[in-house]
Amino acid sequence: MFEAVLAGLVSVVAWPAVGWLGLGVMIGLYFGAVPGLSGLVGMAILLPFTFGMEPVSAFAFLLGMFAVTTTSDTIASVLLGIPGTAASQATILDGYPMAMRGEAARAFGAAFTVSAVGGLLGAVILGLSIPIVKPLILSFAQPEFFLLGLLGLTMVGSLSGGSMIKGLIAAFFGLTLSYVGYSVTGGTPRYWMGMTYLLDGIPLIPIVLGLFALPEVLELAVRDSSISRVPRDQAGSKIFDGIRDAFRHWWLVLRSTVIGAYVGMLPGLGGSIVDWVAYGHVVQSSKDKSQFGRGDVRGVIAPETANNAMKGGALIPTVAFGIPGSASMAILLGALLIQGLQPGPQMLTSDLNITFSMMWTLVIANVVGAILLMVWGNQIAKVTFIRGHLIVPVVCMFVFMGAWLANNSPGDLAALLLFGLIGYLMKQGGIPRPPLVLGFILGPIMEDALHITMSGYEWGALAQRPISLVIIAGIVLTVVFAARTSLRDRRNDDRKQFGETEKWDPRISTGMLIVIAAAFVYALVPAVSWPADTGRIPMVTAIPGLVLCALALIQARTRAAVPGSEPLVAATLGRAMYFFVWLCGIGAVTIIAGQLVALPLFMGLYILVWGGYKWWLGMIYAVVGLAFLYVMFDEIVAVIWYPSLLFG
């Protein structure tokens, strides 16, 4: 085995594989930093270029690009509060508040360091786990997948500031949204409202960009200030401060690496929730939770370690069993077949050197990518001190194009705007958004697992499955720990609020709770008449969601206001809604003239009207935006543009 490890290393550092690896790393850094251009898009674009390459060079190119996307995605998450990729959703919870305090460089230093460490150790775990991983993965069946989803939902209390009820409401709301479209089991169309766009369900990317990106863009436009709330001369943190933070929390880094590597092994589940699991773990395991959501560096370290360690774990089911755990791994599986390699025992025996070359590719790519970003980190962090009006047009361009890449459908833009409004009102109403995303991701997985469990297993069998018992114990401990903390705080009259429940408008909160309760009623009414395999899970979700909404509304009327809740100034809300109308205008002009007209036109007009700058600067923004859209999305990504009324 040692000979295979050494042969894998030699083949990766030899020419031309090392050159392809370096090129892949540079491309991956870009694709991770731009919201919407994820590792999946990069894999799809680069795959045709691997035809005719030697296997080691091909995988060095693909995996070199793929490995670093979860390192550079930190840039958008920290600077703008926008997930660069789906794997950095949890990073924004504390990364963006750090940028608002002028500590973006510190966040980068911590994130890039633990990304390198997590990626390196995750790859090592991949190598060490190869002999023992088969029985581990095969021991997970549908009951365990359902229980893992349930464990993720029980952790929403850790992601919900000081209001577990609101966090659970958001999680059940996310589950309900995941049922839109054809049912996983019966093939019955649900909640599609006569729109064919909804038959396949709501895409994740418009939801995430809407919930997290547009609310921050609205605040930047309305507040008319830089991302950082403190002047540059008062922001003393540097990238080396973050590096020291990473080594100071070395035990957290190791725990998060193990979480990332082994949760990432679970096909179809690990990669989508690993950053949330790591974030929930660090919150629940910390004695002092008061700074989470306000810019606690531990809230950056845990998810960034896990999402890089996950890459090594995700390779195992793909290479060892031919079971791709994600769309990106499905493309990698295609690359294996193109190279004439057969996933399975062959990759662990006669082609073991190629498997280890993939491990070494992950190690080298993560280290090189992190070093490059640390070199540039202090310069990138200066973006937080630029006036917000100069940033908003560029962010809007990336957000709208990122949403469009989901399905190349006008429904994507409508979903983006709708969830942008929902996200802004949830933020202002103190209803946490992360549990909604987690519930949306887990919904189809849990529904499918529950159906198979009830069809093929007896409930008593769960008590006879060792892994199920371990997960059940984790669920019980999570609930007990959260309940004990809540009772202790209430007894001490210390209702700690952090994250999105720290400052909120009680009027908006009440309005949003009523809207969400109405959504639960809408989901419940038709589910009663559906077949059991189609209507069971919506009813199981909507009924407790309604009960929790009622409790939250009663609590809001009977309990004294929690410190931090305060009405939003009417002028601020009105200006935010006015800017939202501008964003809707992008969609309207897209229908008439297409994105190549709508987005540059918005960029130029925003600089003139909202920013109050000279006409020539608006013209520069519009021209540069048009050039970037054409080169990046037309020539490189080859996006399918909207067939506008004027230009087709």
Q: Of 225-234, 297-306, 307-316, 452-461, which has the strongest mean pLDDT?
A: 297-306
User: Residue 14 domain-assigned?
Assistant: yes
User: Residue 644 domain-assigned?
Assistant: no
For residue 461, give Cα distances in angstroms to 144, 297, 351, 452, 456: 11, 42, 39, 13, 10
Same domain, 358 and 296: yes
User: Residue 353 domain-assigned?
Assistant: yes
Identify the CA nearest to 200 among candidates 400, 42, 415.
415
pLDDT at res. 596: 92
pLDDT at res. 498: 47
| φ and ψ at residue 189, rounded to 5 degrees | -70, 130
Which uninterrupted H or E stretch holds 322? Answer: none
Same domain, 521 and 620: no
The count of structural domains within the chain is: 2
| pLDDT, tens only, 573-629 | 888 888 999 999 998 999 999 899 999 999 999 999 888 888 899 999 999 999 988
By the 8 A CB rule, do 546 and 518 touch? no
Provide the 8-state DSSP code for 190. Answer: E
For residue 525, give Cα distances in angstroms to 168, 386, 439, 510, 520: 21, 50, 21, 23, 9
| pLDDT, tens only, 225-235 | 777 666 666 55
| pLDDT, tens only, 469-500 | 877 887 777 777 666 666 665 555 444 444 55
Q: Is the pLDDT of residue 348 over 70?
A: no
Same domain, 480 and 388: yes
pTM of the shown model:
0.77
Same domain, 141 and 289: yes
Using the 3D structure, point to which of 536, 558, 580 is the last residue of a domain: 558
| φ and ψ at residue 99, rounded to 5 degrees | -65, -35
Tokens of 287: 């004695």
Q: Coil, strand or helix: which one is 186?
A: coil
Identify the CA nearest to 533 among candidates 198, 178, 190, 184.
184
Provide the 8-state DSSP code for 163. Answer: -
How far, rounded to the nearest angstrom, does the alpha carbon of residue 583 sit from its chain's CA centroid? Answer: 23
User: Residue 641 domain-assigned?
Assistant: no
pLDDT at res. 268: 57
**Rounded distance, CA 354 to CA 408, Å?**
37
- Which position has the higher pLDDT, 445 or 257? 257
By the 8 A CB rule, do 589 and 622 touch? no
Amino acid code (one letter) for 413: L
**Rounded distance, CA 216 to CA 100, Å?**
11
Same domain, 323 and 358: yes
Same domain, 470 and 608: no
| pLDDT, tens only, 172-222 | 999 999 999 888 776 788 898 888 888 888 888 788 888 888 888 888 888
pLDDT at res. 584: 92
Q: Coil, strand or helix: which one is 277?
A: helix
**Rounded distance, CA 164 to CA 363, Å?**
39
Using the 3D structure, point to which of 531, 558, 585 is the last residue of a domain: 558
Give 469's Cβ-side CA count (13 Å radius): 6
Neighbours of 501 (CB within 10 A): 25
Place of tokens 């290479």: 319
Place of tokens 């499918």: 448
Identify the CA nearest to 611 among candidates 203, 225, 77, 36.
225
181-182 and 189-190 beta bridge pairing:
antiparallel
Between 96-100, 343-347, 531-535, 642-646, the lowest mean confidence (pLDDT) is in 343-347
Burial classification of residue 576, based on how many CB atoms lie within 10 Å of its CB (0-12 exposed, 13-18 middle, 19 or more buried): buried
User: Residue 237 domain-assigned?
Assistant: yes
Same domain, 426 and 448: yes
By the 8 A CB rule, do 145 and 266 touch? yes
The angle subtended at Cα 491 by Cα 487 and Cα 493, nearest 5°, is: 115
Same domain, 537 and 581: no
**Rounded distance, CA 92 to CA 87, Å?**
11
Q: Is the pLDDT of residue 526 over 50?
A: yes
| pLDDT, tens only, 363-373 | 888 888 888 88
Same domain, 312 and 445: yes
Helix axes 570-593, 410-428, angle to 10 degrees: 170
User: Residue 107 domain-assigned?
Assistant: yes
Taking every pair of C-alpha atoms in the chain, what is the biggest distance, in angstroms? 72
Q: Which own/partner pairs from 409-413 qualify as long-range (CB within 8 Å, at least 24 positions apart)?
A: 409/197, 410/587, 410/590, 410/591, 410/642, 411/195, 411/197, 411/198, 412/203, 412/205, 412/206, 413/206, 413/586, 413/587, 413/590
Burial classification of residue 2, based on how many CB atoms lie within 10 Å of its CB (0-12 exposed, 13-18 middle, 19 or more buried): exposed
Report DSSP letters for 246-306, one per residue.
HHHTHHHHHHHHHHHHHHTTSTTTHHHHHHHHHHHHHHHH-S--TTTTTT-THHHHHHHHH
pLDDT at res. 483: 64
- Bridge partner list, 242: none
User: Residue 565 domain-assigned?
Assistant: no
Average pLDDT of 355-361?
82
pLDDT at res. 531: 83
pLDDT at res. 135: 63
Same domain, 468 and 614: no
Same domain, 522 and 575: no
Preceding amide of 526 cis, omega within 30: no
- pLDDT band of residue 560 (cuts 50, 70, 90) is very low
Q: Is the pLDDT of residue 562 over 60?
A: no
pLDDT at res. 575: 85
Neighbours of 627 (CB within 10 A): 11
Using the 3D structure, point to which of 509, 529, 558 is the last residue of a domain: 558
Q: Is the pLDDT of residue 507 over 70?
A: yes
- Bridge partner list, 387: 226
Q: Is the pLDDT of residue 516 over 90?
A: yes
- pLDDT band of residue 132 (cuts 50, 70, 90) is low
Burial classification of residue 531, based on how many CB atoms lie within 10 Å of its CB (0-12 exposed, 13-18 middle, 19 or more buried): exposed
Give 326's Cβ-side CA count (13 Å radius): 26
Q: Coil, strand or helix: which one is 388?
A: helix
By the 8 A CB rule, do 281 and 481 touch? no
pLDDT at res. 418: 94
Q: Of 22-26, 237-241, 418-422, which has the strongest mean pLDDT?
A: 418-422
**Rounded distance, CA 623 to CA 572, Å?**
31
Average pLDDT of 405-432?
88
Radius of gyration of the chain (CA): 24
- Which position has the higher pLDDT, 636 or 543? 543
User: Residue 645 domain-assigned?
Assistant: no
Same domain, 343 and 225: yes
Q: Of 132-141, 148-157, 241-250, 336-345, which has the strongest mean pLDDT?
A: 241-250
Place of tokens 């531990």: 298
Identify the CA nearest to 553 among candidates 606, 509, 493, 495.
509
By the 8 A CB rule, do 44 and 66 touch? no
How far, rounded to the nearest angstrom, does the alpha carbon of residue 146 sit from its chain's CA centroid? Answer: 21
Place of tokens 């229980």: 147
pLDDT at res. 357: 84
298 is in which domain, residue-wise?
2-558
Mean pLDDT (the chain) is: 79
Q: Of 42-46, 222-226, 394-398, which has the strongest mean pLDDT?
A: 394-398
| pLDDT, tens only, 142-156 | 777 777 777 777 766
